[in-house]
Amino acid sequence: MQRYFIYLSYDGAAYHGWQVQPNGLSVQECLERALSTLLRRPVAVTGAGRTDAGVHASLMVAHFDADAPLDAVLLADKLNRLLPPDIAVSRIRPVKPEAHARFSATSRLYRYYVTTAKTPYLRQYRCRLFHVPDFARMNQAAATLFDYEDFTSFSKLHTDVKTNNCRILHAAWTQVDDVTWVFTIRADRFLRNMVRAIVGTLLDVGRGKLTVEGFRRIVEQRDRCRAGTSAPGHALFLADVTYPEDLFLDGDGG
């Protein structure tokens, strides 16, 4: 048995998230179906995380097991021919048997894009703001995230996780162009809906509805009802997942 990591990207607009759903098409389902067709047996894949409905990934990682060693380059090419146009595989890498796409990851990075102008050709990838918020104040609030580990206030309710603790490694708004800003956040792990809840609450700070100290108190209260409304999913991208290099068997650190 040989385990492989698949690196892929997808436009999430047409999908009910990453995870297989009983009532809608998911990215995981499409990938499992394509792999099962090519390998001529049922193949299960496990993702590094679970993006919500409409959320995109410029880089997602998933693992699967094969009965025997595979030509990773050829398999990636065949998968891309079989998968729909909005899902693309960039590479497949052999890994150690204990490597796990979710539990072996050391960090994940998300980006959330907002625009203050009407942009017809990017409307499905940007959250439109009708007033320019105070991004400097939003960055002051984002900096307080480093002081905490428990992010219950930004977690979807009634999830099956054992802990709501996360370690934030980076969190900041930066300007992309005259009308576009991006919030970039990296952590060792994320809770369900966490990034969108943080962005929505930071936007309340930027609009003057909430102070920086008020944002801090929301984190400390550990109550999702105190935080702001979750930002729309269509402007969120999973952008990176990192792993210890000694998990890989191909010796390619690129």
Could you list the active site residues?
52
Tell me how far apart the alpha carbons of residues 239 and 216 are, in angstroms, rounded to a whole number: 26
Q: 10 Å Cβ neighbour count for 1? A: 7
SS (H, E, C) the chain: CEEEEEEEEECHHHCCCCCCECCECCHHHHHHHHHHHHHCCCCCCEECCCCCCCCEEEEEEEEEEECCCCCHHHHHHHHHHHCCCCEEEEEEEEECCCCCCCCCCCEEEEEEEEECCCCHHHHHHCEECCCCCCHHHHHHHHHHHHHCCECHHHCCCCCCCCCCECCEEEEEEEECCCCEEEEEEEECCCCCCHHHHHHHHHHHHHCCCCCHHHHHHHHHHCCHHHCCCCCCHHHEEEEEEECCHHHECCCCCC
